[in-house]
Structure 1
Amino acid sequence: MSDEGQQGPAEDAVQEWKTWHARRTESVAAPYGPLALRGTHWLQDHPEGLVPAIPGRWSTASDGTGVVLGATADNGLTLDGRPFTGEVVLTADPGGPDTARIARGDRRFVVLVREGLWAVRDFDPASDARTRFRGIDATPYAARWSVPGRFTPYSGDRRTVRVENADGRSRGLGLDGELAFSLDGREHTLQAGVEADGSLWAVFADTTSGKAPEAGGSHRFRFLRPGPPDAEGRVTVDFNRAQLPPCAFADHFLCPFPPPGNALPVAVAAGERNLLGR
Protein backbone atom coordinates (compact mmCIF):
# COMPACT_ATOMS: atom_id res chain seq x y z
CA MET A 1 0.00 0.00 0.00
CA SER A 2 1.34 3.41 -0.94
CA ASP A 3 2.17 5.94 1.77
CA GLU A 4 1.48 8.81 -0.62
CA GLY A 5 -0.82 11.38 0.97
CA GLN A 6 -0.43 9.94 4.48
CA GLN A 7 0.91 12.08 7.30
CA GLY A 8 3.22 11.08 10.09
CA PRO A 9 2.74 11.83 13.80
CA ALA A 10 4.60 15.15 13.56
CA GLU A 11 2.47 16.40 10.69
CA ASP A 12 -0.68 15.26 12.48
CA ALA A 13 0.33 17.18 15.61
CA VAL A 14 0.97 20.35 13.60
CA GLN A 15 -2.40 20.10 11.85
CA GLU A 16 -4.20 19.40 15.14
CA TRP A 17 -2.59 22.49 16.65
CA LYS A 18 -3.64 24.62 13.68
CA THR A 19 -7.21 23.39 14.09
CA TRP A 20 -7.08 24.13 17.82
CA HIS A 21 -5.74 27.63 17.22
CA ALA A 22 -8.42 28.39 14.63
CA ARG A 23 -11.16 27.21 16.96
CA ARG A 24 -9.76 29.22 19.84
CA THR A 25 -9.70 32.36 17.72
CA GLU A 26 -13.25 31.71 16.57
CA SER A 27 -14.52 31.20 20.13
CA VAL A 28 -12.80 34.35 21.41
CA ALA A 29 -14.31 36.41 18.57
CA ALA A 30 -17.81 34.93 19.00
CA PRO A 31 -20.66 37.37 19.75
CA TYR A 32 -20.59 36.48 23.45
CA GLY A 33 -16.94 35.52 23.75
CA PRO A 34 -14.59 37.25 26.23
CA LEU A 35 -14.12 40.25 23.93
CA ALA A 36 -17.79 41.14 24.42
CA LEU A 37 -17.45 41.83 28.16
CA ARG A 38 -17.96 45.54 28.84
CA GLY A 39 -17.95 45.44 32.62
CA THR A 40 -18.23 43.47 35.87
CA HIS A 41 -20.16 45.48 38.45
CA TRP A 42 -20.13 44.48 42.14
CA LEU A 43 -23.45 45.33 43.71
CA GLN A 44 -21.87 46.25 47.04
CA ASP A 45 -20.27 49.18 45.20
CA HIS A 46 -23.72 50.48 44.14
CA PRO A 47 -25.84 50.54 47.31
CA GLU A 48 -28.62 52.52 45.62
CA GLY A 49 -29.07 49.75 43.05
CA LEU A 50 -28.11 51.85 40.03
CA VAL A 51 -25.37 50.13 38.06
CA PRO A 52 -23.55 52.31 35.46
CA ALA A 53 -24.94 51.86 31.93
CA ILE A 54 -27.12 48.89 32.92
CA PRO A 55 -30.90 49.44 33.07
CA GLY A 56 -32.99 48.49 36.08
CA ARG A 57 -32.27 48.42 39.79
CA TRP A 58 -29.94 45.70 41.00
CA SER A 59 -29.38 44.80 44.66
CA THR A 60 -28.29 41.85 46.75
CA ALA A 61 -31.21 39.97 48.31
CA SER A 62 -31.63 40.59 52.03
CA ASP A 63 -30.63 37.01 52.85
CA GLY A 64 -27.59 37.20 50.58
CA THR A 65 -28.67 34.26 48.42
CA GLY A 66 -29.37 36.08 45.17
CA VAL A 67 -29.93 39.35 43.33
CA VAL A 68 -33.14 41.37 43.26
CA LEU A 69 -33.81 43.07 39.93
CA GLY A 70 -36.52 45.69 39.57
CA ALA A 71 -37.46 46.93 36.10
CA THR A 72 -39.94 49.22 34.38
CA ALA A 73 -41.11 49.13 30.77
CA ASP A 74 -38.74 52.00 29.95
CA ASN A 75 -35.77 49.79 30.87
CA GLY A 76 -36.45 47.53 27.88
CA LEU A 77 -35.33 44.37 29.67
CA THR A 78 -36.37 40.82 28.91
CA LEU A 79 -36.48 37.84 31.28
CA ASP A 80 -36.13 34.43 29.63
CA GLY A 81 -36.82 36.06 26.27
CA ARG A 82 -40.01 37.90 27.29
CA PRO A 83 -40.50 41.59 28.15
CA PHE A 84 -40.04 42.06 31.88
CA THR A 85 -41.39 44.59 34.38
CA GLY A 86 -41.70 44.31 38.13
CA GLU A 87 -39.31 42.48 40.43
CA VAL A 88 -37.57 39.14 40.30
CA VAL A 89 -34.99 37.34 42.43
CA LEU A 90 -32.12 35.94 40.36
CA THR A 91 -29.48 33.38 41.22
CA ALA A 92 -26.13 32.99 39.49
CA ASP A 93 -26.39 32.15 35.79
CA PRO A 94 -25.05 28.60 35.34
CA GLY A 95 -24.13 28.88 31.66
CA GLY A 96 -22.46 31.30 29.29
CA PRO A 97 -23.69 34.81 28.50
CA ASP A 98 -25.66 33.60 25.48
CA THR A 99 -27.97 31.77 27.92
CA ALA A 100 -28.26 34.57 30.51
CA ARG A 101 -31.82 35.15 31.70
CA ILE A 102 -31.71 38.95 31.52
CA ALA A 103 -31.14 40.79 28.25
CA ARG A 104 -31.72 44.04 26.42
CA GLY A 105 -31.57 43.61 22.67
CA ASP A 106 -28.28 41.86 21.90
CA ARG A 107 -26.78 42.66 25.30
CA ARG A 108 -26.75 39.96 27.99
CA PHE A 109 -26.53 40.60 31.72
CA VAL A 110 -24.92 37.72 33.60
CA VAL A 111 -25.40 37.34 37.37
CA LEU A 112 -22.44 35.87 39.26
CA VAL A 113 -21.30 35.39 42.83
CA ARG A 114 -17.77 35.13 44.23
CA GLU A 115 -17.13 34.38 47.89
CA GLY A 116 -20.60 35.61 48.85
CA LEU A 117 -20.43 38.86 46.84
CA TRP A 118 -22.82 39.37 43.93
CA ALA A 119 -22.17 41.10 40.62
CA VAL A 120 -23.68 41.61 37.19
CA ARG A 121 -21.68 41.40 33.98
CA ASP A 122 -22.51 43.27 30.79
CA PHE A 123 -21.80 41.37 27.56
CA ASP A 124 -22.27 43.32 24.34
CA PRO A 125 -21.43 41.92 20.87
CA ALA A 126 -20.86 45.53 19.73
CA SER A 127 -18.06 46.12 22.25
CA ASP A 128 -15.02 48.09 21.12
CA ALA A 129 -12.70 45.22 22.02
CA ARG A 130 -14.56 42.84 19.73
CA THR A 131 -14.58 45.39 16.92
CA ARG A 132 -10.81 45.97 17.21
CA PHE A 133 -9.86 42.29 17.51
CA ARG A 134 -7.22 41.22 14.96
CA GLY A 135 -6.35 37.76 16.26
CA ILE A 136 -4.14 35.96 18.76
CA ASP A 137 -0.37 35.95 18.45
CA ALA A 138 0.57 32.30 18.97
CA THR A 139 3.85 30.49 18.37
CA PRO A 140 3.59 27.67 15.80
CA TYR A 141 3.65 24.11 17.08
CA ALA A 142 6.99 22.66 18.21
CA ALA A 143 7.29 19.11 19.51
CA ARG A 144 9.74 20.09 22.28
CA TRP A 145 6.91 21.81 24.17
CA SER A 146 4.72 18.70 24.39
CA VAL A 147 6.10 16.44 27.11
CA PRO A 148 4.91 13.61 29.36
CA GLY A 149 3.85 14.56 32.85
CA ARG A 150 2.43 13.04 36.00
CA PHE A 151 -0.31 14.40 38.21
CA THR A 152 -0.23 13.56 41.92
CA PRO A 153 -3.33 14.55 43.92
CA TYR A 154 -2.84 16.08 47.33
CA SER A 155 -3.57 13.81 50.24
CA GLY A 156 -6.79 14.86 51.89
CA ASP A 157 -9.08 17.65 50.74
CA ARG A 158 -8.59 20.29 48.07
CA ARG A 159 -6.33 23.15 49.14
CA THR A 160 -7.31 26.78 48.81
CA VAL A 161 -4.72 29.54 48.59
CA ARG A 162 -5.33 33.28 48.46
CA VAL A 163 -4.03 34.91 45.30
CA GLU A 164 -4.40 38.33 43.77
CA ASN A 165 -6.83 38.56 40.88
CA ALA A 166 -6.62 40.71 37.76
CA ASP A 167 -9.11 43.20 39.26
CA GLY A 168 -6.77 43.87 42.19
CA ARG A 169 -8.72 41.85 44.78
CA SER A 170 -7.54 38.73 46.56
CA ARG A 171 -9.62 35.54 46.30
CA GLY A 172 -9.30 31.86 47.05
CA LEU A 173 -7.92 29.54 44.36
CA GLY A 174 -8.72 25.84 44.62
CA LEU A 175 -5.83 23.43 43.96
CA ASP A 176 -6.02 19.63 43.87
CA GLY A 177 -2.52 18.37 43.23
CA GLU A 178 0.91 18.69 41.67
CA LEU A 179 1.72 18.32 37.97
CA ALA A 180 5.34 17.24 37.38
CA PHE A 181 7.15 17.28 34.04
CA SER A 182 10.53 17.88 32.46
CA LEU A 183 11.62 20.55 29.96
CA ASP A 184 15.08 20.38 28.38
CA GLY A 185 16.27 17.98 31.06
CA ARG A 186 15.08 20.08 34.02
CA GLU A 187 12.29 18.97 36.33
CA HIS A 188 9.41 21.35 37.04
CA THR A 189 6.10 21.29 38.88
CA LEU A 190 2.87 23.26 38.73
CA GLN A 191 0.07 23.29 41.27
CA ALA A 192 -3.13 22.44 39.44
CA GLY A 193 -6.86 22.11 39.92
CA VAL A 194 -9.12 19.39 38.57
CA GLU A 195 -12.11 20.42 36.45
CA ALA A 196 -15.53 18.75 36.53
CA ASP A 197 -14.65 16.63 33.48
CA GLY A 198 -11.40 15.41 35.07
CA SER A 199 -9.10 17.64 33.02
CA LEU A 200 -6.45 19.75 34.73
CA TRP A 201 -6.13 23.52 34.95
CA ALA A 202 -3.08 25.50 36.01
CA VAL A 203 -2.22 29.20 36.09
CA PHE A 204 1.45 29.76 35.33
CA ALA A 205 4.04 32.39 34.53
CA ASP A 206 7.50 31.98 33.00
CA THR A 207 10.46 34.21 32.22
CA THR A 208 8.70 35.68 29.16
CA SER A 209 5.69 36.79 31.21
CA GLY A 210 4.98 40.51 31.21
CA LYS A 211 7.73 41.37 28.74
CA ALA A 212 7.04 43.34 25.56
CA PRO A 213 6.06 41.25 22.51
CA GLU A 214 8.93 42.71 20.49
CA ALA A 215 11.29 41.33 23.15
CA GLY A 216 9.79 37.86 22.90
CA GLY A 217 7.45 38.44 25.80
CA SER A 218 4.01 37.05 26.55
CA HIS A 219 1.04 38.07 28.67
CA ARG A 220 1.84 38.40 32.39
CA PHE A 221 0.43 34.89 33.03
CA ARG A 222 -1.30 32.14 31.09
CA PHE A 223 -3.51 29.10 31.55
CA LEU A 224 -2.56 25.49 30.86
CA ARG A 225 -5.32 22.89 30.41
CA PRO A 226 -4.00 19.31 30.12
CA GLY A 227 -6.50 16.51 29.60
CA PRO A 228 -7.57 14.06 32.31
CA PRO A 229 -4.69 11.96 33.71
CA ASP A 230 -4.90 8.19 33.30
CA ALA A 231 -5.22 5.78 36.22
CA GLU A 232 -1.48 6.10 36.91
CA GLY A 233 -1.58 9.90 36.84
CA ARG A 234 0.12 10.13 33.44
CA VAL A 235 -0.86 13.08 31.26
CA THR A 236 0.53 15.02 28.32
CA VAL A 237 1.71 18.54 29.21
CA ASP A 238 1.47 20.56 26.00
CA PHE A 239 2.58 24.17 26.25
CA ASN A 240 1.78 24.59 22.56
CA ARG A 241 -1.77 24.98 23.82
CA ALA A 242 -1.02 27.45 26.58
CA GLN A 243 -3.90 29.94 26.59
CA LEU A 244 -4.25 33.63 27.25
CA PRO A 245 -6.54 34.18 30.23
CA PRO A 246 -9.91 35.90 29.66
CA CYS A 247 -8.56 39.14 31.19
CA ALA A 248 -6.16 39.41 28.24
CA PHE A 249 -9.21 40.05 26.06
CA ALA A 250 -11.23 42.27 28.42
CA ASP A 251 -10.09 44.08 31.56
CA HIS A 252 -13.24 43.14 33.49
CA PHE A 253 -12.52 39.47 34.15
CA LEU A 254 -11.35 38.26 37.58
CA CYS A 255 -8.55 35.95 36.44
CA PRO A 256 -6.40 34.62 39.30
CA PHE A 257 -2.67 35.21 39.24
CA PRO A 258 -0.35 32.17 39.50
CA PRO A 259 -0.21 30.64 42.98
CA PRO A 260 3.12 30.33 44.81
CA GLY A 261 5.45 27.94 42.95
CA ASN A 262 3.81 28.37 39.54
CA ALA A 263 6.39 30.77 38.08
CA LEU A 264 8.55 28.58 35.85
CA PRO A 265 12.26 29.57 35.67
CA VAL A 266 12.32 28.97 31.90
CA ALA A 267 11.21 30.86 28.81
CA VAL A 268 8.09 29.09 27.51
CA ALA A 269 8.15 30.37 23.94
CA ALA A 270 5.04 28.42 22.99
CA GLY A 271 1.28 28.68 22.73
CA GLU A 272 -0.74 31.86 22.83
CA ARG A 273 1.47 34.82 23.69
CA ASN A 274 -0.40 38.11 23.20
CA LEU A 275 -3.21 39.76 21.28
CA LEU A 276 -2.24 40.88 17.82
CA GLY A 277 -1.87 44.63 17.60
CA ARG A 278 -1.12 45.13 21.29
Structure 2
Amino acid sequence: MTDASDQWKQWHERRTETVPAPCGPLALTGTHWLADYPDGRIPDIPGSWAADGGAVVLTAAATDGPTVDGRPVAGRVRLEPDTGPVASPRVALGERRLVVLVREGAWGVRDYDPGAPARRTFRGVAATAYDPDRAVPGRFAPYRESRTVRVPNAAGRGRGPALDGEPACELGGERRTLREARRPDGSLWAVSADATSEDGGFRFRFRYAGAPDVEGLTAVDLNRAQLPPCAFAGHFARPFPPPGNTLGLAIPAGERTLL
Protein backbone atom coordinates (compact mmCIF):
# COMPACT_ATOMS: atom_id res chain seq x y z
CA MET A 1 0.00 0.00 0.00
CA THR A 2 2.84 2.38 0.77
CA ASP A 3 4.14 2.15 -2.80
CA ALA A 4 0.66 2.64 -4.27
CA SER A 5 -0.04 5.57 -1.95
CA ASP A 6 3.29 7.20 -2.81
CA GLN A 7 2.63 6.74 -6.52
CA TRP A 8 -0.77 8.37 -6.10
CA LYS A 9 0.80 11.34 -4.30
CA GLN A 10 3.26 11.75 -7.17
CA TRP A 11 0.37 11.59 -9.64
CA HIS A 12 -1.54 14.26 -7.70
CA GLU A 13 1.54 16.49 -7.53
CA ARG A 14 2.02 16.21 -11.29
CA ARG A 15 -1.62 17.12 -11.85
CA THR A 16 -1.23 20.16 -9.61
CA GLU A 17 1.76 21.23 -11.69
CA THR A 18 0.27 20.64 -15.15
CA VAL A 19 -3.13 22.28 -14.58
CA PRO A 20 -1.68 25.82 -14.19
CA ALA A 21 1.09 25.30 -16.79
CA PRO A 22 1.47 28.04 -19.46
CA CYS A 23 -0.62 25.95 -21.87
CA GLY A 24 -2.56 23.97 -19.29
CA PRO A 25 -6.37 23.99 -19.07
CA LEU A 26 -6.39 27.18 -16.98
CA ALA A 27 -4.76 29.02 -19.90
CA LEU A 28 -7.64 28.37 -22.30
CA THR A 29 -9.38 31.69 -23.01
CA GLY A 30 -11.60 30.67 -25.90
CA THR A 31 -12.83 27.86 -28.15
CA HIS A 32 -14.05 29.32 -31.44
CA TRP A 33 -16.13 27.12 -33.74
CA LEU A 34 -15.67 28.33 -37.29
CA ALA A 35 -19.30 27.72 -38.19
CA ASP A 36 -20.12 30.62 -35.82
CA TYR A 37 -17.96 32.98 -37.91
CA PRO A 38 -19.06 32.68 -41.55
CA ASP A 39 -16.97 35.74 -42.45
CA GLY A 40 -13.84 33.98 -41.15
CA ARG A 41 -13.08 36.67 -38.56
CA ILE A 42 -12.55 35.32 -35.04
CA PRO A 43 -12.68 38.00 -32.30
CA ASP A 44 -9.22 39.06 -31.09
CA ILE A 45 -7.44 36.64 -33.45
CA PRO A 46 -6.02 38.18 -36.65
CA GLY A 47 -6.43 36.69 -40.08
CA SER A 48 -9.26 34.89 -41.79
CA TRP A 49 -10.11 31.32 -40.78
CA ALA A 50 -12.23 28.97 -42.87
CA ALA A 51 -12.94 25.25 -42.89
CA ASP A 52 -12.04 23.67 -46.21
CA GLY A 53 -12.71 19.95 -46.46
CA GLY A 54 -10.28 18.14 -44.19
CA ALA A 55 -8.43 21.22 -42.97
CA VAL A 56 -8.62 24.87 -41.95
CA VAL A 57 -7.26 27.59 -44.22
CA LEU A 58 -5.69 30.57 -42.48
CA THR A 59 -5.23 33.69 -44.61
CA ALA A 60 -3.16 36.53 -43.17
CA ALA A 61 -0.57 39.18 -43.97
CA ALA A 62 2.92 39.04 -42.53
CA THR A 63 2.10 42.09 -40.39
CA ASP A 64 -1.02 40.50 -38.83
CA GLY A 65 0.94 38.53 -36.25
CA PRO A 66 0.13 34.80 -36.55
CA THR A 67 3.06 32.49 -37.22
CA VAL A 68 3.02 28.92 -38.49
CA ASP A 69 5.96 26.68 -37.64
CA GLY A 70 7.73 29.78 -36.34
CA ARG A 71 7.36 31.83 -39.55
CA PRO A 72 4.96 34.75 -40.15
CA VAL A 73 1.95 33.86 -42.26
CA ALA A 74 2.02 35.75 -45.56
CA GLY A 75 -0.86 34.49 -47.67
CA ARG A 76 -2.74 31.22 -47.26
CA VAL A 77 -1.73 28.19 -45.25
CA ARG A 78 -3.61 24.92 -44.88
CA LEU A 79 -3.79 23.53 -41.34
CA GLU A 80 -4.76 20.02 -40.34
CA PRO A 81 -5.91 19.26 -36.76
CA ASP A 82 -3.23 19.59 -34.09
CA THR A 83 -2.70 16.20 -32.48
CA GLY A 84 0.48 16.86 -30.52
CA PRO A 85 1.03 18.62 -27.18
CA VAL A 86 -1.03 21.76 -26.62
CA ALA A 87 2.18 23.67 -25.90
CA SER A 88 3.48 23.14 -29.44
CA PRO A 89 0.76 23.59 -32.06
CA ARG A 90 1.70 24.92 -35.48
CA VAL A 91 0.08 28.34 -34.99
CA ALA A 92 1.20 30.96 -32.47
CA LEU A 93 0.31 34.57 -31.80
CA GLY A 94 3.09 35.93 -29.64
CA GLU A 95 3.03 33.86 -26.45
CA ARG A 96 -0.45 32.57 -27.24
CA ARG A 97 -0.95 29.16 -28.83
CA LEU A 98 -3.77 28.57 -31.34
CA VAL A 99 -4.80 24.93 -31.58
CA VAL A 100 -6.77 23.75 -34.60
CA LEU A 101 -9.27 21.02 -33.74
CA VAL A 102 -12.14 19.11 -35.28
CA ARG A 103 -14.94 17.39 -33.40
CA GLU A 104 -17.38 15.25 -35.38
CA GLY A 105 -16.89 17.37 -38.48
CA ALA A 106 -17.01 20.75 -36.68
CA TRP A 107 -13.78 22.76 -36.98
CA GLY A 108 -12.55 25.16 -34.35
CA VAL A 109 -9.61 27.09 -32.90
CA ARG A 110 -8.64 27.06 -29.23
CA ASP A 111 -6.77 30.04 -27.81
CA TYR A 112 -4.32 29.31 -24.99
CA ASP A 113 -2.92 32.42 -23.32
CA PRO A 114 -0.17 32.11 -20.65
CA GLY A 115 -1.38 35.45 -19.31
CA ALA A 116 -4.86 34.13 -18.48
CA PRO A 117 -6.00 35.41 -15.04
CA ALA A 118 -7.11 31.90 -14.00
CA ARG A 119 -3.49 30.78 -13.89
CA ARG A 120 -2.63 33.41 -11.29
CA THR A 121 -5.57 32.62 -9.01
CA PHE A 122 -5.17 28.82 -9.04
CA ARG A 123 -4.78 27.41 -5.51
CA GLY A 124 -4.86 23.68 -6.17
CA VAL A 125 -7.17 20.70 -6.62
CA ALA A 126 -8.96 19.08 -3.69
CA ALA A 127 -8.59 15.30 -3.80
CA THR A 128 -9.49 12.43 -1.47
CA ALA A 129 -6.52 10.61 0.06
CA TYR A 130 -5.55 7.29 -1.49
CA ASP A 131 -7.75 4.36 -0.52
CA PRO A 132 -6.63 0.86 -1.60
CA ASP A 133 -10.26 -0.31 -1.64
CA ARG A 134 -10.88 2.06 -4.56
CA ALA A 135 -8.29 0.29 -6.74
CA VAL A 136 -9.74 -2.99 -7.95
CA PRO A 137 -9.19 -5.39 -10.85
CA GLY A 138 -11.59 -5.30 -13.75
CA ARG A 139 -12.25 -7.22 -16.94
CA PHE A 140 -12.95 -5.33 -20.14
CA ALA A 141 -15.64 -6.73 -22.44
CA PRO A 142 -15.37 -5.08 -25.86
CA TYR A 143 -18.39 -4.53 -28.06
CA ARG A 144 -18.36 -6.18 -31.47
CA GLU A 145 -18.65 -2.70 -32.96
CA SER A 146 -18.27 0.76 -31.46
CA ARG A 147 -21.56 2.23 -30.26
CA THR A 148 -22.34 5.90 -30.71
CA VAL A 149 -24.55 7.45 -28.05
CA ARG A 150 -25.74 11.03 -28.45
CA VAL A 151 -25.06 12.84 -25.18
CA PRO A 152 -25.92 16.53 -24.73
CA ASN A 153 -23.35 18.88 -23.26
CA ALA A 154 -23.78 22.06 -21.25
CA ALA A 155 -23.76 24.17 -24.43
CA GLY A 156 -26.75 22.26 -25.79
CA ARG A 157 -24.71 20.59 -28.52
CA GLY A 158 -25.19 16.86 -28.88
CA ARG A 159 -22.03 14.79 -28.88
CA GLY A 160 -21.73 11.22 -30.01
CA PRO A 161 -18.58 9.70 -28.54
CA ALA A 162 -17.81 6.18 -29.73
CA LEU A 163 -18.03 3.70 -26.87
CA ASP A 164 -16.04 0.52 -27.28
CA GLY A 165 -16.85 -1.71 -24.32
CA GLU A 166 -17.44 -2.15 -20.61
CA PRO A 167 -15.02 -3.10 -17.83
CA ALA A 168 -16.71 -4.97 -15.00
CA CYS A 169 -15.46 -4.77 -11.42
CA GLU A 170 -16.75 -5.04 -7.86
CA LEU A 171 -17.50 -1.81 -6.00
CA GLY A 172 -19.54 -1.43 -2.84
CA GLY A 173 -20.11 -5.17 -2.74
CA GLU A 174 -21.78 -5.20 -6.16
CA ARG A 175 -20.72 -5.83 -9.73
CA ARG A 176 -20.47 -2.53 -11.61
CA THR A 177 -19.78 -1.63 -15.21
CA LEU A 178 -18.93 1.59 -17.03
CA ARG A 179 -19.25 2.28 -20.73
CA GLU A 180 -15.83 3.32 -22.00
CA ALA A 181 -14.03 4.47 -25.12
CA ARG A 182 -10.76 3.03 -26.30
CA ARG A 183 -8.06 5.63 -26.99
CA PRO A 184 -5.59 5.39 -29.92
CA ASP A 185 -2.94 3.81 -27.68
CA GLY A 186 -5.38 1.14 -26.48
CA SER A 187 -5.99 2.66 -23.05
CA LEU A 188 -9.53 3.29 -21.81
CA TRP A 189 -11.42 6.50 -21.03
CA ALA A 190 -14.78 7.05 -19.36
CA VAL A 191 -16.97 9.94 -18.25
CA SER A 192 -18.75 8.97 -15.05
CA ALA A 193 -20.57 10.36 -12.04
CA ASP A 194 -21.56 9.07 -8.60
CA ALA A 195 -23.56 10.20 -5.57
CA THR A 196 -20.72 12.40 -4.23
CA SER A 197 -21.49 14.86 -7.05
CA GLU A 198 -24.43 15.98 -4.94
CA ASP A 199 -22.21 16.65 -1.92
CA GLY A 200 -19.89 19.41 -3.07
CA GLY A 201 -18.11 17.42 -5.77
CA PHE A 202 -17.94 18.26 -9.46
CA ARG A 203 -20.86 16.95 -11.51
CA PHE A 204 -18.78 14.26 -13.23
CA ARG A 205 -15.19 13.15 -13.67
CA PHE A 206 -12.92 11.44 -16.17
CA ARG A 207 -11.37 8.05 -15.52
CA TYR A 208 -8.48 6.59 -17.46
CA ALA A 209 -7.20 3.01 -17.38
CA GLY A 210 -4.38 1.15 -19.05
CA ALA A 211 -4.96 -1.01 -22.09
CA PRO A 212 -6.50 -4.39 -21.20
CA ASP A 213 -4.24 -7.41 -21.55
CA VAL A 214 -4.97 -10.33 -23.86
CA GLU A 215 -7.49 -11.69 -21.36
CA GLY A 216 -9.22 -8.34 -20.98
CA LEU A 217 -7.84 -7.65 -17.50
CA THR A 218 -7.31 -4.02 -16.54
CA ALA A 219 -6.98 -1.97 -13.35
CA VAL A 220 -9.92 0.16 -12.20
CA ASP A 221 -8.34 2.79 -9.95
CA LEU A 222 -10.92 5.34 -8.87
CA ASN A 223 -8.29 7.11 -6.78
CA ARG A 224 -7.16 8.66 -10.05
CA ALA A 225 -10.55 9.87 -11.17
CA GLN A 226 -9.83 13.41 -12.30
CA LEU A 227 -11.68 16.62 -12.95
CA PRO A 228 -12.43 17.15 -16.64
CA PRO A 229 -10.88 20.14 -18.45
CA CYS A 230 -14.20 22.00 -18.27
CA ALA A 231 -13.81 22.17 -14.48
CA PHE A 232 -10.91 24.57 -15.05
CA ALA A 233 -12.15 26.64 -18.01
CA GLY A 234 -15.65 27.10 -19.37
CA HIS A 235 -14.34 27.14 -22.94
CA PHE A 236 -13.97 23.36 -22.95
CA ALA A 237 -16.97 21.27 -23.94
CA ARG A 238 -18.77 19.76 -20.96
CA PRO A 239 -19.75 16.22 -22.02
CA PHE A 240 -22.19 14.63 -19.61
CA PRO A 241 -21.87 10.91 -18.73
CA PRO A 242 -23.54 8.53 -21.18
CA PRO A 243 -26.45 6.43 -19.95
CA GLY A 244 -25.26 3.81 -17.49
CA ASN A 245 -22.25 5.78 -16.26
CA THR A 246 -23.97 7.52 -13.34
CA LEU A 247 -23.54 5.27 -10.31
CA GLY A 248 -26.07 5.36 -7.49
CA LEU A 249 -23.46 4.90 -4.76
CA ALA A 250 -21.02 7.44 -3.34
CA ILE A 251 -17.38 6.94 -4.33
CA PRO A 252 -15.28 9.38 -2.30
CA ALA A 253 -12.08 8.99 -4.32
CA GLY A 254 -9.94 11.00 -6.68
CA GLU A 255 -10.17 14.69 -7.49
CA ARG A 256 -13.18 16.49 -6.09
CA THR A 257 -13.17 20.25 -6.77
CA LEU A 258 -10.92 23.24 -7.26
CA LEU A 259 -9.63 24.79 -4.05
Shorter-chain TM-score range: over 0.9
Measured in 2, the distance between the counterparts of 1:197 and 1:91 equals 21
* Aligned length, in residue pairs: 259
AA partner of residue 38 (structure 1): T
Q: Partner residue of 1:265?
A: 248
4+ runs deviating over 6 angstroms: none
> Aligned partners of 1:131, 1:168: CA distance in 2, in Å?
30
Q: Which runs of 5+ in 2 are unaligned?
A: none
Q: CA deviation at 1:255?
A: 3.9
Measure, in 1, the Cα distance between the counterparts of 2:81 and 2:213.
Answer: 33
Equivalences for residues 229-268 of structure 1 within 5 A: 229-268=212-251
Paired residue for 2:153?
A: 165
Q: How far is 1:171 from its partner? A: 1.3
Alignment RMSD: 1.3
Asked whether the 8 Å contact 2:59–2:73 carries over to 1, the reply is: no
Match of 1:54 among 30, 45, 65: 45
Which one has the largest radius of gyration?
1
1:143 corresponds, among 124, 132, 149, to 132
Say whether 1:206 aligns with 2:206: no
Residue-by-residue CA offset, 1:217-267 (whole Å, 9 max, x unaligned): 211110111112222212221110001011111111124211100001111
> TM-score, length-normalised on structure 1?
0.89
Secondary structure, counterpart of 2:43 in structure 1: coil
Confirm or deny that 1:39 pairs with 2:30. yes
Match for 1:128 among 117, 124, 131? 117
How big is the shift at 1:178?
Answer: 0.9
The 3-state SS of whatever aligns with 1:158 is strand
**Residue identity matched to 2:176:** H
Instruction: Select 2:12's aligned residue among 3, 17, 21.
Output: 21
- Tell me the amino acid that sits aligned with residue 89 of structure 1: R
Contact kept? 1:173, 1:256, Cα under 8 Å? no
Supply the distance in 1 between the matched residues of 2:205 and 2:192 (Cα, whole angstroms). Answer: 6
Other-structure match for 2:65: 76
Letter in 2 for 1:101: R
2:170 alignment partner, one of 182, 189, 199 = 182
Aligned to 1:118: 107
**Cα shift at 1:96:** 2.4
Partner amino acid for 1:49?
Answer: G
Contact residue 167 and residue 253 of structure 1 kept, 8 A: no
**1: CA distance, partners of 2:35 / 2:66:** 22
- In the aligned structure 1, how far is the partner of 2:220 from the partner of 2:255? 15
Write the distance in 2 (CA, Å) between the matches of 1:72 and 1:26: 37
AA at the equivalent of 2:94 = G
Match of 2:76 among 87, 95, 105: 87
Query: How far does the alpha carbon of each residue in 1:168-197 deviate from its partner, in whole angstroms, 9 at most, with x for none?
Result: 311111111111111121221101111122
Separation in 2, partners of 1:13, 1:102: 40
- Supply the distance in 1 between the matched residues of 2:82 and 2:136 (Cα, whole angstroms): 37
Letter in 1 for 2:36: D
Equivalent residues of 2:100, 2:108 under 8 A apart = yes
Gaps of 5+ in 1: 1-9
Matches within 5 A, 1:223-234: 223-234=206-217
Distance in 2, Cα, partners of 1:232 & 1:106: 47
Identical residues among aligned pairs (%): 59
Distance in 2, matches of 1:126 and 1:167, equals 26
**What is the TM-score normalised by the length of structure 2?**
0.96
